[in-house]
Structure 1
Amino acid sequence: MSSASEGRIRRSSVSLLTPPPQCVTLLTDDGVPVEAVYEPCTRRSGSRGAAPADTTAIVVAHGFTGAVDRPAVRRAARVFARHAAVVTFSFRGHGRSGGRSTVGDREVLDLAAAVAWARELGHRRVVTVGFSMGGSVVLRHGALYDAPAHAGARPGTDSADPGAYADAGAHADAVVSVSAPARWYYRGTAPMRRLHWVVTRPSGRFVGRYGFRTRIATEDWDPVPLPPVAAVPRIAPAPLLLVHGDRDPYFPLDHPRMLAEAAGPGGAELWVERGMGHAENAADDALLDRIAAWATDGTTA
Structure 2
Amino acid sequence: MSDALDFPITRSRRYWLTTADGVGIDSQLLTGPVPRTTAVVLANGFTGTYRSPHTRALAEAMLQVGDVMTFDFRGHHGSGGRSTVGNAEIHDLEAVMVRLRELGYTSVATVGFSMGAAVVVRHAAVYGGVAAAVAVSGPSRWYYRGTRRMRLLHLGVERGLGRFFLRSFRKVRVIDREWETRPAEPREVAGKISPAPLLVVHGDADPYFPVSHALDVHGAAEEPKDLWIIPGMGHAERAVTPELSLRLREWLREHLPEEQAEEN
TM-score (ref. length: structure 2): 0.92
Q: Which residue of 1 aligns with 2:237?
A: 280
Match of 1:21 in 2: 12
Q: Work out whether residues 7 and 63 of structure 2, in 8 Å CA contact, stay in contact via their aligned partners in 1.
A: no
1:183 corresponds to which of 141, 145, 150: 141
CA distances 1:160-194 after superposition (whole Å, capped 9, x unpaired): xxxxxxxxxxx211100000001000000000000
Mapped partners of 1:109, 1:299: distance in 2: 25
The aligned counterpart of 2:201 is 243
Identify which of 178, 182, 186 aligns with 1:220: 178
Q: Distance in 1 between matches of 2:169 and 2:148?
A: 19
Q: Which runs of 4+ in 1 moved over 3 A?
A: 12-15, 298-301
Answer yes or no: is 1:33 the counterpart of 2:24: yes
Paired residue secondary structure (1:241): strand
d(CA) in 2 for partners of 1:115 and 1:296? 19
Aligned with 1:200 (options 158, 162, 168):
158
Does the alignment pair 1:115 with 2:97?
A: yes
Matched residues in 2 for 1:192 and 1:89: separation?
24
User: CA–CA distance in 2 between the matches of 1:258 and 1:85?
Assistant: 31
Letter in 2 for 1:207: F
How many angstroms does 1:261 deviate by? 1.1
Secondary structure of the residue aligned to 1:126 is: strand
Structure 2: 5+ residue runs without aligned partners? 260-264
Q: Does 1:229 align with 2:187?
A: yes
CA deviation after TM superposition for structure 1 residue 83, in Å: 2.5
Please say if residues 110 and 134 of structure 2, whose CA atoms lie closer than 8 Å, have aligned partners that are also in contact.
Answer: yes
In structure 1, what is the equivalent of residue 228 of structure 2?
Answer: 271
Aligned-pair identity in percent equals 43
Amino acid at match of 1:23: R
The separation in 2 between residues aligned to 1:212 and 1:247, in whole angstroms, is 25
Match of 2:211?
253
The residue aligned with 1:155 is none
Confirm whether residue 66 of structure 1 aligns to residue 48 of structure 2: yes
**Within 2, Cα distance between the matches of 1:90 and 1:13?**
26
Contact 2:43–2:70 (CA under 8 A) maintained in structure 1: yes
Q: 1:233 touches 1:267 (CA, 8 Å); kept in 2?
A: no
Q: 5+ unaligned residues in a row in structure 1: which ranges?
A: 1-11, 42-47, 147-170
Deviation at 1:13, TM superposition (A): 11
Paired position in structure 2 for 1:82:
64
Task: State the TM-score, normalizing by the size of structure 1.
Answer: 0.81
Post-superposition offset of 1:103: 0.2
Whole-angstrom distance in 2 between the partners of 1:268 and 1:230 = 16
> Is the 8 Å Cα contact of residues 36 and 66 (structure 2) preserved in structure 1?
no
Structure 2 distance, partners of 1:72, 1:210, is: 22
Q: What CA deviation, in whole Å up to 9, does each residue of 1:119-141 have, x standing for no partner?
A: 21111100000000000000000
Cα gap change, 1:77 to 1:35, in 2 (>3 Å) = same
Q: How do residues 4-15 of structure 1 correspond to structure 2 at under 5 angstroms?
A: none
Determine if the alignment matches structure 1 residue 126 to structure 2 residue 108.
yes
Q: SS state of the match for residue 167, structure 2? A: helix
Distance apart, 1:82 and its partner CA: 2.9
The CA deviation at 1:299 is: 3.5
Q: Secondary structure at the match of 1:185?
A: coil
Any conservation in 2 of the 1:62–1:90 contact (CA below 8 Å)? yes
Q: CA deviation at 1:267?
A: 4.4
Q: Does the 8 A contact of 1:57 with 1:86 survive in 2?
A: yes
Q: Distance in 1 between matches of 2:252 and 2:77?
A: 26
Which residue of structure 2 aligns with residue 52 of structure 1?
A: 36
User: Is the Cα contact below 8 Å between 1:65 and 1:212 reproduced in 2?
Assistant: yes
Q: What is aligned with 2:262?
A: none
Amino acid at match of 1:210: S
Answer yes or no: is 1:291 the counterpart of 2:261: no
Q: CA RMSD in A?
A: 1.7
Offset of residue 215 of structure 1: 0.5
Task: Give yes or no for the alignment of 1:139 onto 2:97.
Answer: no
Q: Give the equivalent residue in structure 2 for 1:158.
A: none
